[in-house]
Amino acid sequence: MPNPAISPEAAAIEAAYQAQVQALFKVLVTNLGDEPVSHQSEQQSVDKFVRGLNIAKRAKQLAQNATAPALPVRAQVSRSKKTREK
């Protein structure tokens, strides 16, 4: 059952992130299966996965920030130097 406290945008971002992680994992599995077994080829595949995962995390965070409700801005009292000197 969906959580009513989560906005549709937040749910879509989370779903897209999960789909991206699944896609990255599938690519990792494919690369590991296609490459001759060696520490270097394995490490290159893992490095690509980690880069993709970090990009996905960053995109998720940026999207969440972009869709977050704006917080009300409190007016700040500006006191000029002249006012403080009086």
CB 10 within 8 A of CB 64: yes
pLDDT at 34: 84
As a whole number of angstroms, the distance between CA 47 and CA 67 comes to 30
User: Model's pTM, two decimal places?
Assistant: 0.70
Mean pLDDT of the chain: 84
Give Cβ neighbours of residue 49 (< 8 Å, ≥ 6 apart).
24, 25, 27, 28
Any idea what the Cα angle at residue 5 is, between residues 71 and 53, rounded to 5°? 80
Res 68 pLDDT > 70: yes
pLDDT at 72: 63
Q: Which residue has the higher pLDDT, 58 or 3?
A: 58
**Percentage of residues in the chain with pLDDT exceeding 90?**
56
CA dihedral 11, 54, 56, 17 (to 10 degrees): -40
